[in-house]
Amino acid sequence: MTTVERSILINTPVDAIEAIMDDARRLPEWYAGIEQADPDDVFPEPGGKVGLVYKAAGVTFTLTQTSLERAPGRGGVNQMEGMITGTNHLTYTPEGESTRVTMRFEYQMPGGGLGKVVDRLLVERMNAQNLEKSLANLKALVEG
């Protein structure tokens, strides 16, 4: 299993960040690599799902993300299923009048040993870069 984690300090209270992050339809606006997001009527509440089309390293992945846990103002956990399986964890940490947003992805590539090699050589780096870009995009969007 591969783990990629990044965080960023956003100069706003958590409510403004959460309003954007809870609206899965807005994922393509700020999350690098996500080309399409189709949430059901339940997401982001536990049990809710989002169909995602994600592109990394020239490969298009079709995924379903299911909300497992949600703690308003603190974060949540989602499970990914499809061409990549794993979980993503989101944590909001207040720092004065700002909020530190931390995202951690734990995932497995398909293809056994070959999938692991492709992940190590290419996909892991691309996912890390996309996560960094995404957090910077989120910061710019929230801070205006």
Cα separation, 36 vs 65, in Å, equals 12
Q: State which residues of the chain have pLDDT below 50.
A: none
- In order of 64, 69, 135, the CA distances from 74 in angstroms are 23, 11, 17
pTM for the model stands at 0.86
Confidence (pLDDT) at 123: 63
Superfamily for the 2-143 domain = START domain (3.30.530.20)
Confidence (pLDDT) at 55: 81
Confidence (pLDDT) at 115: 53
